[in-house]
Amino acid sequence: MAVGGVIVGGGAPIAVQSMTTTDTRDPSATLEQIRRLADAGCEIVRVAVPGSDALDGLQAICAQSPLPVVADIHFDHRLAIEAARRGAAKLRINPGNIGSMDRVDAVIEAAGEAGIPIRIGVNAGSLAAEYHDRDWPLFEKLAASAVKFCEHFTSRGFEDIVVSAKASSVVPTIEAYRLLSARLPYPLHIGVTEAGTAFTGTIKSSVGIGVLLAEGIGDTLRVSLTAPPEEEVRVAWEVLASLDIRRRGPELISCPTCGRCQVDLVPIAEEVQRRLSTLATPVKVAVMGCVVNGPGEAREADVGVAAGRGTGLLFRRGVPVRKVPESEIVDALFEEIDTLT
C-alpha cells in the first residue's frame, strides 16, 4: 500500500512514524513540528483531528506537509469523511468507537473515493462489541477485534488497510501482533501504546517493537513517548539500527568503562554522541576506554579511539593514525570523520 509517497508493507523498508503534539488548528506550528520530524527521519506523520474546527488546519497541513499526513479520528465519522476529502494521505480510525458499522461504511466509502488507505487501530478501550465481555486474555480480544473489523472492511470491497492492535503493556502487545501476523495478510503498524515517559517508554517500546521486528512482524512503527515526538523518531531509528534492519545517520559504539579506563570517557562519549546527532552520514564511530577491547572495536569502526593514560589513539578504517591528548579526542575524532565524508 502507499501512504502518500511512502510504500508500506510488501517487503518495503519499515516506515518510521510519529504524531504531532501541536494544535491542528494552528497549521504553522504543526508544519514547523512536521519539518523537525522530517529532519529527524520521520517518514509518515499522524495529526489529531479532534473536532470540525480542526479540519481547515488539517487541510492546510496536508497541502504543505513534507511528509504524508495521516488523519487520526475518534468517535465522529464525519470528521474522517471530511479528512479524506481534504487531502489526508491515510485515515486512522478505531471502528470500535465510531458509533456503528453504518458510520464505518461511510468512512470506507470516503476513503475509497479519495483513493487512500485506512488504518484499523484497535486498542483495549475500543474492542469490537462482541468481545468486550469475553473471558479471554486481552491479546486475544485485541486480535479478534482487529480481524473482525478487517472482515467487515473486506466485505465492503475495501482492502487498502493497515492494522494495529496496541496495548500499553509489552507482553499483550507482542502476543496480539503474533496472532494478527498469523491471521491477516495486511501490513501491520506496530508499537506499544502509551508506553510512558522517555526512559520507561523507550525501554517498553524497544522491547515490544524489537521482539516483533526480530520475528519479522511489522511494516511500519511508532514509538509512543510522553516526550517531544522527535525523540520518538530517534528511538525508532535506534531500534531499527540495533536489529540491522535500517540505519540512518551515524552509529556510536562506546564501552561502558571500567577500572581500566584512564580518561574521563563518559563526557567524551556524550559529546561525540551529541555532535554525531547533527550528521546524516552513516559513519560508524567507536569510543573505547582502554587498550583491552579498545583497539579491536576501534578498528572495526570507520573512525575510532582507544584511550590510554590521558591520551587517545585514533584509528581510521582500522589503521592507527595518531595519538592525541585527552582534551583533544573529540575534535580529533571529528577531524577524522571529516576526512571520510
Q: Which residues bind ligand SF4 (CB under 6 A)?
A: 255-258, 260-261, 288-290, 292-294
Q: Give min distance, CB of 274 to ligand SF4, in A.
A: 20
C-alpha closest to that of 24 among 97, 88, 81, 77: 88
Our CB check for ligand SF4 shows the closer of 241 and 253 to be 253
Looking at the Cβ atoms of 79 and 255, the one nearer to ligand SF4 is 255
- The least CB distance from residue 261 to ligand SF4, in Å, is 4
d(CA 227, CA 198): 6
Supply 160's cell numbers: 487498502
**Count of CB atoms situated within 10 Å of the CB of 3:** 26
Cβ closest to ligand SF4, residue 140 vs residue 300: 300
Residue pair 160/190 in contact by the 8 Å Cβ criterion: no
Quick one: 172 or 289, whose CB is closer to ligand SF4? 289
Taking the C-alpha atoms of residue 314 and residue 142, their distance in angstroms, rounded to an integer, is 53
Grid-cell match 520518538, residue found? 232
Q: DSSP assignment, residue 165? A: E
Residue 62 or 288 with smaller CB distance to ligand SF4: 288
Please tell me the distance from the alpha carbon of residue 143 to that of residue 131, in angstroms, as a whole number. 10
Q: Considering beta carbons, is residue 138 or 255 the nearer one to ligand SF4?
A: 255
Output the smallest distance, CB 258 to ligand SF4, in A: 3
Using CA atoms, how far apart are residues 229 and 19, in angstroms rounded to an integer? 7
Helix axes 170-183, 138-155, angle to 10 degrees: 40
CB of 314 to ligand SF4, least distance (A): 15
Instruction: Tell me how far, at minimum, the Cβ of 330 lies from ligand SF4, in Å.
Output: 17
> Least distance to ligand SF4 from the beta carbon of 275, Å?
21
